[in-house]
Structure 1
Amino acid sequence: MSDDVLNEFGNRVRELRLWRHLTVRTAADLAGISYGYWAQIERGDKTVNNRQKLEAISYALRVSPTELTRKPHGSVDPETAAAQSGLNALSDVLLGYRIGEVPDVVPRPWDEIAAESVRLHLELRPACKYAEEVELLPRLLKELLVLAARGPHRRDALVHLIQAYDVATSLSGRLGDAGLPIVSIERMHAAAAELGDPQWVYAVDWVRAQNLSGTDRPRQYELATRVADEAPRERPEVFGMAHLTASIAAAAQGQADTARMHLDEASTIAELIEPDVSPWPLSMMVFGRTNVGIWKVSIGVELGDGPKVAETARGLDVSPISVSRQVAFWTEMGRGLIPERKTRRAGIDAFKRADGLAVQQLRNNMLAREAVRDQLRHAHQDDADGRDIRYLAWRMGLAPTG
């Protein structure tokens, strides 16, 4: 296998460093890492295994982390290829219409529109049906824009618009478009302002914080804690999720005590919700005890707990939550377990679980890609671990020949 395949990330770092006319030493100083470590990254001798290092390198090179990850990555499944080909139509609607502007379409009866919106949130999005989501969203958004401008269903249409824009935000980001999530969030803000309900205004403020680029974790923390402190207390889902976002923002800055404090707050808030996964708002937050458990694993990996995440996850049943969150869980478990020899097999199995649920989501996780790439360098030809690592590398577009 070529060095270029094994060192995709390091080659990209070197390319951007030279483009910025920076020496290795200057770039390393800007990132707050050693000269030797930066040089090893460029050579492919070291991988970047956490968000803090990834974002430090992004800061030094003055680019978004997505510039380093080269999203979208090559697809090996028809689902993702079809979804990516449909992004243009979604982009046209997001860019072409603001709240209050009325598309030239005749909406279907409200019951049909509402039913399709519910199907989007409760069936397609949780199962990561990207192609069907992309196909459905442009027409649904146009119809909701018409009804949100006038008529008896105006308020309901605005609520469904907020949630549809949220789907567009996460979907376009996962399909590798860096610009559309920003537009979607702005449309969400306008719809929430038009609705005038503080619950929804703060829910959208949380979406903004959650989707803020990893190059500005202090600002993400500031926005998330503002929502956690100020959101109305009637909907614990909003300020509960804000604490989780604050936790990852703190962890990505190496602030372990602060990250765990916000995790503890979220755990306490989750006890206020009767189900393990709250149904409100449709597919946006899935807040509850199960999701907090998944975030605990993710924060543990970020803080360097490594194989200890297996103990964190002990007894956690993720089956009640969406496929997307299940993939996040198994991906983080894989990242925590695969580097150590004693837990490598369990880490491989965790990545395989994520792959089986939604390879399209796993493929675009840069930290998972680096973990598999690191294992690929040492994979043996004739043992089960080596075969599974090469399979995962192929599925993730790291080794096209398998």
Structure 2
Amino acid sequence: MYDQATIGARLRMLRKWRKLSLVELADLAGMSKSYLSMAERGERALDRRSYIAALADALQVSETELVGGPHLTKDPVQAAPHATIPQIRTALIANTLTAPLADQARPLPELLADMDRLDHSKYKFREAGRLLPAIIDELHVHAADPADEAEHRLALECLIEAFQMATFTTKDLGYGDLAHIAAMRAGEAAAILGDPINRGKADSLRIHTMPATTWRVRLTAAEQAVERLQPHVKDDTGVHVLGMLTLAASMAATVAADASRARHWLDHAAELAGRTADAPGDNWGAFSTTNVNVWRISLAVEQGEGGGVLELARNVEERRLAERRGRHTAFLTDVGRGLARDPRARERAVEWLHRAENVAPHKFRNDAKARETVGVLLQQVRSTTAGRVLRGMAARMGLPH
């Protein structure tokens, strides 16, 4: 069960467990004592990746111990996706590429059609948990006993896509270890296929699931993956995969406080996006000009941006995100998180966060960063309308309100 408190309250508990004073922890993490004091009291949000990584490293705990693990509330929309995790876990762990869990499988074209429907589902997050375990099981049957080489390659390629869905489904629900297992399974399939594009896909998943305390390692891994893939990009899919790796490099550089490298990789991503259609719903990883603009906001919020995110938000054509509800919600949430840092814009922040919840409530209510922002805003917003909306969100997220 998730602790019903802000990350700051968990920080205080872990700090005292480690017998550290605020000054000692501030020195170890390279942060100010006043900021940590406000965070512990719930007056400042601890939602930046760099801060979480630094504090987890200083306290010698995992990110999950600091941020909080998967949690259940009385809200069925928030809690229901967690019920699918045992089946996803079994599919990821019990299958191997030579010994599938299932005895038989539907024809491969039928599984491909299911994968395509799932990828374009309005309720992808919810449907993935329900349908994905069986798809993974059956794809392993085809991979272990293919009719020919072409079917073997196709089954492995589809497994990589299925593992991608499993990676982000489990990651978004707070099961980081399962997400990393899914990414590593994608790497196994890519190693057999032996082509650069599929290896790039697997690299992207692995980089996204590395522990929070390894951002410089992530940056190196992302830059190496870009270098490996770059000479082999010859079509749109290659551009999409390379683009997602450059965005991963930009985020890693941002968290590692390397501003020049972050700008370099973000500029490279924008150049690549200009070479492909601006179609997040169709492109691998949603890579597109729209998605690069969404990432600009994520990076700005990670750097501590406040009310200025509204200017960046004007560059995002929200209609293009309609088929990527999770991405759309992440965009709205990041704008809300940024606005929440500006005392003059907190009521606007509540509006954006409420919009994020309405687009994809299952994702929003399971987002640790959104939860942290809502928890801190509860201490700050006093007006009747915004306060009522905020308390409603808090109740659905299982926060004291």
TM-score (norm 2): 0.90
Residue 193 in structure 1 maps to residue 196 in structure 2: no
Q: What is residue 309 of structure 1 aligned with on the other side?
A: 309
Contact 1:333 1:350 in 2 (8 A): yes
How far has the Cα of 1:217 moved from its partner? Answer: 0.6
Q: What is residue 342 of structure 2 aligned with on the other side?
A: 340
Runs of 4+ in 1 over 6 A off after TM superposition: none
Distance 2:341 2:25 in 1: 27
How far has the Cα of 1:332 moved from its partner? Answer: 0.6
Aligned partner of 1:168: which letter? A
Q: What is residue 129 of structure 1 aligned with on the other side?
A: 125
Going from structure 1 to structure 2, the CA distance change for 1:113 and 1:211 (only over 3 Å counts) comes to same
Q: What is residue 60 of structure 2 aligned with on the other side?
A: 62
Distance 1:89 1:40 in 2: 41
1:277 to 280, 284, 289: 280
How far has the Cα of 1:79 moved from its partner? Answer: 3.9
Contact 2:125 2:169 in 1 (8 A): no
**How large is the Cα RMSD of the aligned pairs?**
2.1
Residue 359 in structure 1 maps to residue 355 in structure 2: no
Q: Report Cα offsets for 1:179-215 as digits up to 9, x if no partner.
A: 2112111111111111222110111111111222221
Contact 1:100 1:148 in 2 (8 A): yes
Distance 1:347 1:36 in 2: 24
Residue 390 in structure 1 maps to residue 391 in structure 2: yes
Residue 243 in structure 1 maps to residue 238 in structure 2: no
Distance 1:121 1:264 in 2: 28
Q: What is residue 147 of structure 2 aligned with on the other side?
A: 151
Distance 2:298 2:9 in 1: 27
SS at match of 2:244: helix
Distance 1:324 1:95 in 2: 26
Distance 1:241 1:310 in 2: 24
SS at match of 1:274: coil
How far has the Cα of 1:162 moved from its partner? Answer: 0.6
Aligned partner of 1:308: which letter? G
2:206 to 205, 208, 217: 208
Contact 2:293 2:315 in 1 (8 A): no
Aligned partner of 1:289: which letter? T
Q: Report Cα offsets for 1:37-88 as digits up to 9, x if no partner.
A: 3344334344324222122111111222222121223335424433212211
How far has the Cα of 1:36 moved from its partner? Answer: 3.9
Contact 1:229 1:239 in 2 (8 A): no
Farther-moved stretch of structure 1 (322-331 vs 54-63): 54-63
Contact 1:359 1:396 in 2 (8 A): no
TM-score (norm 1): 0.90
**Identical aligned pairs, as a percentage?**
33
Gaps of 5+ in 2: none
Equivalent residue pairs, number: 389
How far has the Cα of 1:278 moved from its partner? Answer: 6.9
Q: What is residue 233 of structure 2 aligned with on the other side?
A: 233
SS at match of 1:378: coil
How far has the Cα of 1:370 moved from its partner? Answer: 2.5
Distance 1:348 1:134 in 2: 29
Gaps of 5+ in 1: none
Contact 1:228 1:238 in 2 (8 A): no
Contact 1:278 1:287 in 2 (8 A): no
Contact 1:248 1:259 in 2 (8 A): yes
How far has the Cα of 1:280 moved from its partner? Answer: 4.2
Aligned partner of 2:196: which letter? P
Farther-moved stretch of structure 1 (154-163 vs 67-76): 67-76
Aligned partner of 1:393: which letter? A
Distance 2:100 2:369 in 1: 42
Q: What is residue 32 of structure 1 aligned with on the other side?
A: 30
How far has the Cα of 1:338 moved from its partner? Answer: 2.4
Going from structure 1 to structure 2, the CA distance change for 1:102 and 1:67 (only over 3 Å counts) comes to same
Going from structure 1 to structure 2, the CA distance change for 1:340 and 1:102 (only over 3 Å counts) comes to closer
Contact 1:71 1:364 in 2 (8 A): no
Residue 378 in structure 1 maps to residue 380 in structure 2: yes
